Structure 1
């Protein structure tokens, strides 16, 4: 690159360093969680935190690890400066509530159910806070007929040699009966962490900060944090997937245990 061209890009803010700094500031723009309640409800803004990450003896509780959105190199090269379908999802440290690590619980359909309590077994969608004019939903799905994955990602995890189902983001315009992603692929529901209490807890409200299982409705697999790091533009972060992990007692391990926090 010539010096004159570099100066022009620097003055116009088109240098890769300037764009990266702008995206970083945008994704870490502060947000307000809530409104705080004792139980989960539609319309509230929450953070989704793993209960525990048992990968080493080092304490990670003070890092406030939460589900987060991370921009990819492809999105950066295409001058994307907000959350879009090319973003990935990880579990990353959250120094404060921000656009990249806060989600709104919304209705599984087009009905406005703001303020209504969310119950165990009731379907919902997780919506990113931006862009406001084109809602972005967390989704996953089963493998296609040719065994390809429903989400194009730069990194994957495996379980017993099989690639796990990844998480992605889909815009409202690309989600529907005749769209690229069926609406049902954005549906999740919560299950009690104790298998012996799941049947009797169906239909009951969900206390905030209580450990629970987040299930993807279509695949019937659980949201999972993997003990595998991904080198992202924000640094090393834990990968996430839709995969069920159980121990010898047929109970979900720490990888599938989450809690909603304000």
Structure 2
């Protein structure tokens, strides 16, 4: 009988070798079908980070059917309390749980976040939708209901920005306030309105067209609360640092909304197909100049 040596196989070596072969075959099979996690992430990244051309507003107003970005403008109070916070954030599809996403579709419902990038791509561009019979191309007016649908690079799927009353099970993860999410069902929960920034002029502004690239409040019709980015709640995702978005009206001592609730509906730059009006309105740091719109052509 031969003496034991280091090269002698002992234990369940045959079963382990068989399991290793099965794992290798499974890996090769998934790779061929594009089902590996890294392949799914790459496909999602290609779709969600694909450049999108924004609609150009030649009359200076927002219209039904426009492809736009929603930008939360400079928050002075956050900049003082939280040094290093980006001055401009755009609403975007949340990628906090990218590992469970399918390469072909987004989960339903899906979260939203605010990101520091202001370049128009699939994940941070939205389409202005009519919910009360307004025709495509007509200007959206203050006090008029509209919807916001994702572009996202998925041609057969559109999700709608929505919110609902806070409940024991449904709330924003960090702030514990009213949650904002994306859903596949177009309902009253997906209806929004543009509200004039100055509270003293809101009654007079009702029915007037909503200007593009100008600060406003975006109010949720069902709960009468405003879309907001508090900027002191954030998480790390596959794409970096992302800020929580909630639906809450932040009021100052004068009972007016704080800049956490300030939004701009950003359109494209007519002089640059890949640019936005933010590039044109901000040639130098110092904020967006109000009432500056593209020239008519």
TM-score by length of 1: 0.82
1:114 matches 2:114:
no
1:231 matches 2:257:
no
Shift of the alpha carbon at 1:57? 4.1
1:94 equivalent in structure 2: 117
Q: Is the 8 A contact 2:113 2:243 kept in 1?
A: yes
Counterpart Cα distance in 2 of 1:133 and 1:81: 10
Bigger radius of gyration: 2
Counterpart Cα distance in 2 of 1:84 and 1:76: 11
Shift of the alpha carbon at 1:253? 1.0
Structure 2 unmatched runs, 5+: 1-19, 268-297
2:183 equivalent in structure 1: 170
Write out aligned runs for 1:106-255 (5 A).
106-109=129-132, 111=133, 113-130=135-152, 131-143=154-166, 147-149=168-170, 156-158=173-175, 163-171=176-184, 174-175=185-186, 183-227=187-231, 228-255=233-260
Secondary structure in 2 aligned to 1:236? strand
* Matched pairs, number: 239
Residues 254 and 95 of structure 1: CA distance in aligned 2, closer, same or farther (over 3 Å): closer
Shift of the alpha carbon at 1:93? 2.6
Q: Is the 8 A contact 1:70 1:233 kept in 2?
A: no
**In the TM superposition, what whole-angstrom CA distance separates every residue of 1:208-261 from its partner, at most 9, and x where no partner exists?**
111110000110000000221122232220110100101112111111011111
1:39 equivalent in structure 2: 61
Shift of the alpha carbon at 1:71? 3.6
Say which is worse superposed, 93-102 or 223-232, in terms of deviation.
Answer: 93-102
Shift of the alpha carbon at 1:157? 2.9
Secondary structure in 2 aligned to 1:105? strand
Q: Is the 8 A contact 1:189 1:214 kept in 2?
A: yes
Secondary structure in 1 aligned to 2:179? coil
**In the TM superposition, what whole-angstrom CA distance separates every residue of 1:140-188 from its partner, at most 9, and x where no partner exists?**
11135xx332x7xxx6132xxxx211111111xx44xxxxxxx111110
2:74 equivalent in structure 1: 52
Residues 58 and 235 of structure 1: CA distance in aligned 2, closer, same or farther (over 3 Å): closer
Q: Is the 8 A contact 1:70 1:234 kept in 2?
A: no
Shift of the alpha carbon at 1:90? 0.5
Residues 236 and 198 of structure 1: CA distance in aligned 2, closer, same or farther (over 3 Å): same
Higher strand share: 1
Residues 108 and 118 of structure 1: CA distance in aligned 2, closer, same or farther (over 3 Å): same
Secondary structure in 2 aligned to 1:42? coil
Structure 1 unmatched runs, 5+: 176-182
